[in-house]
Structures are given as structure tokens and as C-alpha cells.
Structure 1
Amino acid sequence: MSAPSLAIYKDVLRSGRGADRVTAALANALAARGYRVCLLTCQPEGVPLSVTLGPGVALRRVAVPKPAPGLRFLNKLLLRTAAGTRLLRALPALDLNRRVSLRLQAALREVRPDLILSSGPNEAIELTGAGPLPAPFLQLFHTYPPVAFANRKRRRAERFREALRGAAACQVLLPAFVPLLRPYTPAPVTPIGNAIDWPADEPLPDPAAREKTIVYVAYFSKDKDHLSLIEAFAKLRRADGWRLVLYGAGTPEWERRLRTRAKELGVDGRVDFPGLLDAPRPTLLRAGICAYPSRVEGFGLALAEAMWCGLPCVGFAEAPGVNALLEDGRTGLLSPPGPEAFAERLQRLIDDLALRARLGQDAAAHVRNAYAAPAIWGQWDALIRSLL
């Protein structure tokens, strides 16, 4: 009997952000467990992937012709209203999503998977835009579920709800997210966190030997709230020798805005922008504190990786995803809104080496127990086999 065949769809893999990394890691892990895995993407030929796929993963690029000039704008315009959406569906030749879906479904009929894994809302919309799929599909949520149904993207959310009706099952990243998805789908919902494939028995460094650095690994965007962190850093009263290191990238406009704010506050000489952090573990094992002011997370992989390395972490108490990983006073510190409160918690950590050591040790123990790769891949294996 041949091994089960899985098709995983990710629209593009070129940003190197968390969703790309998680999708590639899942594909590689399932292939290593004996599944026949095909990763489908609409990323054009010649555009390199931001991730590395193992030898057991077949890559299939689905070619989607460029639309005629003005057609993309017309689609966006029509999708803003219910009447426009109905008109677009009545004229399928103009529906760009349907074009993508037809190409994807043709590729899926050739791959003949036993199960399809849709890696996000956009992917579900594109997969199902031309009708029912040739195999059951499992919907993955890499983010905080309510974000997928936000009113600011109402028409897109409606299309995603329609797609979700056909899902055989859904996966969310944290147990707290399960009831949040119940109003949107009758399908069973299983919580499985992100896997961290690092040595679970690796000793933690001496807290006194760590560098005086406050690190934050995140894409430069509004939701990641680097501005609050820079303002909090500027409010520290006793921070001799400490530096704020912002790893990541984003639009040039966002980086200029962050650099400008640091200069306005007089801390530009102590705030570093080293760029993307491709191999975070060595850096996190050397750093002193992790600040994580993101407003919302599906899981916060960079936060979990910092905890794994024994870093004491600070996040906002109201941030979904962050507040599920950090338990205030035990595995980290949670702050009320605002730079002042965030600065107060950073100051507590800077002033108290014993507190940094205790929080870091408990954070590492928690994450290494809950999210070690072998356990997470076993949960995926069980979920997939229940759907075959």
C-alpha cells in the first residue's frame, strides 16, 4: 500500500516571514514521516523561494498568466460591494480568483492527493474559487483567527467563510483560539502549535554572561509596534551599556520612520537595525532580554524561540497570542498598554539579574516541553491520519 499523498498550497514563499518558515517546516517534517508531499505555489519560475525544502518534498509551481492591464483594478473595485461581487461571479471570465483556482485544481487533479492542506485564508479562497476540490481539505490558521474575518476586509472575509464551509477540519495554533473559530465553521478544530526544532537538552547560558541587549525579531509593520518599543527604551532611567537591537525588515518607509523616531528621542546611537536574522538561535542565546510589543499574533514564533533560549520576555497583556505564551510573573512579564508601562517592566528586568534568570529558566522549560518538534509533528501526524 502506497504512502498517503498530501498537497500543501502556499500562494508565495518569498518573504521569509513566519508563515513561510512554518509551511516549509511542516512539509519537510511530513515528508520525513513517510508521506508523499507536494508543495504547490503560484510563485513564478525564476523567483527563488525564501525557504529550503527537503529532498522528500516535490515542488510544483502553478503558472498563472498575468492579467490584462486594468483587470486587477477592476476586480478590486467590484469586490468592494455585494453587487460588484455578484457581477464578477456572473462573468467568470473576468474573475481573477477563478482563473487561479482553475489552474490550481488542474494541478491537484494531476497530483491526486488524499488530503489538501490550505495554509491560509487567501489560499482557501484561491483553491475553492472554481468549485469543490478533488480531495478533502484541512484549513490552517497561522494567525489569530478573528483577523481572517475582520470587517476592514469584509468581502474577502465573506469569500473565506464560503470556502471554509467545505473544510474537513481546521487547525489553530493555541487552545484559546478554538472557541473563537466555532462561529465560522462546523468543522472540527484542533490546536497544534508551531514546532521548534532545536536541541531540547541544550544548556542555558549564565545570565550574568549574556550581552546587554534588548532584542526584538519581527517584520517592520504597524501591528508589530516597534514605535512603542523605541519609546519605551527611551524612557528607561537606568540602562547604561544596554542597546536595543531590532532584527527584521519591511518597507523602506517603515524603517525610515523607526530610525527617525529613535533620533527624535535621542536614542539613535543605542538602537541598531542589523537586518534579517536568518539563524536566530546563537543570537538569542547571547542576548539579555527579549521585548515583544506585537499587538496580535497567531503564535509568536520569534517569541517562543526567545523563550526556548532562556530569554526573559516582555509583551503586552492585551495582545492575543503573546498573552497565551507568556504567563505574567512566571514565564515572562505582561504589560498594560502604553510605552510607560512597557518601560517599567523592561527596567525591572535590567535592574534584577535574579528575576531575569528565573523568568528565562521557566520560559525555556515551558516552551521546550510544549513545542519541541517531535511532539508537534506527532500531533500533525495524528490529525492528518484522522482525516484520511
Structure 2
Amino acid sequence: LYDDGHELHDGVPAYPLQKVYLRNLFPAPRTPATGPSKSRGGLENLVKKVPNIWPLPQLKWAATYAPFIKRLHKALNDLKPDVVIGFMPTGIMAAVEAAKPLGIPVIASTHNVPEQDFGLSSPRWDANPKYRKRRLQALHKADHILVLQDDFKQWFDSALQNKISVMPNPIAAATMSLTGPREACVIGVGRLTAIKRYDILIAAFAKISAKHPDWRLEIYGDGPEKNALQHQIDRLNMSEQIKLAGICHDIMPVYAKAGIMCHPSSFEGFGLSVAEALAHGLPVAADAACSGVTALIQDGENGILVETGAAPDEAFANTLDHLMSDPMMRTKLGLAAPSSVLSYAPDVILDRWQQVLSACQADHDLV
């Protein structure tokens, strides 16, 4: 069940669905001439731009979120599920407000640094103070809360501590051989957004490219920073050595052939691309201040945690220079990488999910 306010086209799921059913609560109106209508998403964007001056926040919340919650409530009343899982702040808020009045237990599955998603001063998500307050209240009403890392539990207040569990993302082990030759290639993998800081990676690589003429940098992904990053590459006259490789629908062979991954992101809930790279024996250099990767990288064992300080491009340049110059170090880190993520194997994580679901349902039955 999902609100497609931001997905207004009829798309095909990225993964095959087995015993999983999609039910669009807001199917976009279609006409033979124009296809799906985008009117609802445009209206939401207009509403969100209205100033948050009392009493407008309440009216904006009612216009933006109440229709979806109402339809979700009706759908849950028809389906009568055992448990509802809300993902991310908006999904959690909607799940709580739609399911709790029906007596259905709700699991709040967070997927980012908690401060970034639930902090009242965070710039992420909707700036409407009514929305920010209700998404935080939803955590208190949920039956259980899932966080990606143990350190994230400390952000929540004491009243929530006894219903928080750690639930990392599952990471599939590499299915191809890890013994093949590695290319002289540094990769970055992720959406081209400001928080990923690929501008720092581009600047760092440019500083040392003359010393390592056989190496290249490829950044996989797409996003709003694409044009700015391409302009940066052109301005540095690095178009031959640095490529924005776009979206790759099968990134696993890239991990298996690359020489180094560099991940300069400022924060992550869980560095999924980092974990995937490690599973494929690829050493990773990442920012030591990025909590989403510090649980994955053991500095000097399976990767390098870079202390960036006031000059992150210089710090990453020095680290990349060291790794590019030392094939034995890259081999050592790469050999240790796959075993370091075994605790995130799908079977292990699925067992943890089953335990949480069973416990949540059992607790609800006792009430």
C-alpha cells in the first residue's frame, strides 16, 4: 500500500513480486491522449509552498496527508492485517494514524540517521511544523521501532528505549568470483545529491590524477547534482579521466572489477553501496564522520576511514593516493572485506525480522 504522490506514473516494480501485492491508494486518472494525470502531485507541491503561518500548518497538513491516511485506514479495515509496517517518517506517521484506531499493531521502520528524519529542526522532508510534530508523535504511538544501527538508539528519548530494535539492511554475498583482475578504477555509487558530496571526490581525484595517469574515476547514479558535477569535471579538464556513468541496473560486476570505492557522503542511515562493495572484496575509503559507514568499515582492516577536517578534498586525495600507490594494501583490505559483512546476510536479517514480527503480534495479543 503506498501513496504515489511522488510516483505519478505507472511503473513496473524493480524487483519481481512473489506473494506481494501492490494496491495504489491514489491511482492517477488516465486519458487516452495524455496518460496518467499529475495533478495531485502538483497540488501537493503548491500546498507545501504556502507559508507556515497559523492556522495554515493545520490546513496544509489536512490537505496534504489526511486524504491518504483516510484511504489507508479504509484499506486496512478491509484487509485486517496482523501487523502494519511503516517505512520512513511519512509512512510511519500514516501507518500509525490509519492502523492504531483499528487496533492493528504498527512497526515503525526508520531508514536514516534519526536526527535527520525526526529532528524538529532538520531541513529534510516537509517543513510544516504540524507534520514534523505528528511524525515524532507517531514514534510514541508505534508498537515497535526499528533502527539501522545500535548507535542510533541513543537519539530517542528514554520512553522509547524499551521498544527499539536494531534491524540493518540485508546484504547478499557476492555470487561471482572475487579472484579476477581488478581495474585501475575508483568508483562512487549513489544518488547524485548534495549529501553524497561527489564534488569532493571529483576534486580529490583531480588533485592526484597526474600522478596516476592509468587510473580513472567512475561515479554511478543519477540525481539533481548531475549538471553541477559535470560542469565541475569540465572545468577541471578531467572529462577523459572522470565519468558520470549514470544508472547501472546491475552494479555487482562493477564492484567485482573496480580497484577502490570512495564514499565521501556526509551522512547515511546504512551505507548500502558500501556494504555491497565490501561483500565483493572491494576496499572502501569513506568519511570517518559518516555514521552510516563507520559500523561497516574497520579502519585499516577492510577499508579506510578518512579524517577529513577542514579540507576534505585534500584528505581524500591523500588517502586515494596512498591506496592507488599500494596494490598490496588494496589486496589486504579486499581479502578481509567479504567476511566483515557476513552478519548482514539475508537469512540472518530475515530471521531477525521474523522475531520482531512474532514478538509484536504476541505483545498485541496479550493486550
- What's the TM-score bracket when you normalise by the shorter of the two chains? 0.7 to 0.9
**Residue matched to 2:108:** 139
Q: Deviations over 1:135-155 (max 9, x none)?
A: 111011111111112413472
**Residue matched to 1:248:** 221
Which one of the candidate residues 244, 252, 267 is aligned to 1:281?
252
With over 3 angstroms needed to count, the CA separation of the structure-2 counterparts of 1:348 and 1:177, relative to structure 1, is same
Q: Does 1:62 align with 2:37?
A: no
**Residue matched to 2:360:** 387
The code of the aligned residue for 1:164 comes to: L
Q: Is the 8 A contact 2:96 2:106 kept in 1?
A: no
State how far apart, in whole Å, the 1-side matches of 2:151 and 2:49 are.
34
How many Å apart are 1:43 and its aligned residue?
A: 4.9
How many Å apart are 1:52 and its aligned residue?
A: 1.9
Q: Is the 8 A contact 1:43 1:62 kept in 2?
A: no
Superposed CA RMSD in Å reads 2.5
Q: Is the 8 A contact 1:170 1:187 kept in 2?
A: no
Unaligned runs of at least 5 residues, structure 2 = 29-38, 362-367
Alignment length (residue pairs)? 340
Q: Is the 8 A contact 2:48 2:128 kept in 1?
A: no
With over 3 angstroms needed to count, the CA separation of the structure-2 counterparts of 1:345 and 1:159, relative to structure 1, is same
**Residue matched to 1:180:** 155
Q: Is the 8 A contact 2:191 2:221 kept in 1?
A: yes
With over 3 angstroms needed to count, the CA separation of the structure-2 counterparts of 1:245 and 1:130, relative to structure 1, is same
**Residue matched to 1:235:** 207
**Residue matched to 2:327:** 353
With over 3 angstroms needed to count, the CA separation of the structure-2 counterparts of 1:358 and 1:116, relative to structure 1, is same
How many Å apart are 1:133 and its aligned residue?
A: 4.3
The code of the aligned residue for 1:138 comes to: I
Structural mapping, 1:101-140, within 5 Å: 101-129=69-97, 132-134=100-102, 135-140=104-109
How many Å apart are 1:326 and its aligned residue?
A: 1.2
TM-score (norm 1): 0.81
Which one of the candidate residues 210, 220, 226 is aligned to 2:198?
226
How many Å apart are 1:42 and its aligned residue?
A: 8.4
The code of the aligned residue for 1:149 comes to: F
TM-score (norm 2): 0.85
Q: Deviations over 1:102-153 (max 9, x none)?
A: 0111111111100000011011233345683421110111111111124134
How many Å apart are 1:334 and its aligned residue?
A: 1.1
With over 3 angstroms needed to count, the CA separation of the structure-2 counterparts of 1:165 and 1:53, relative to structure 1, is farther
How many Å apart are 1:188 and its aligned residue?
A: 0.9
How many Å apart are 1:374 and its aligned residue?
A: 0.8
Tell which deviates more after alignment, 66-75 or 330-339.
Answer: 66-75
Q: Does 1:96 align with 2:70?
A: no
How many Å apart are 1:96 and its aligned residue?
A: 2.7
**Residue matched to 1:165:** 140
How many Å apart are 1:74 and its aligned residue?
A: 3.9
Residue 138 of structure 1: SS of its match in structure 2? Answer: strand
With over 3 angstroms needed to count, the CA separation of the structure-2 counterparts of 1:195 and 1:74, relative to structure 1, is closer
How many Å apart are 1:362 and its aligned residue?
A: 1.4
Q: Percent identity?
A: 26
Residue 23 of structure 2: SS of its match in structure 1? Answer: strand
**Residue matched to 2:340:** 366
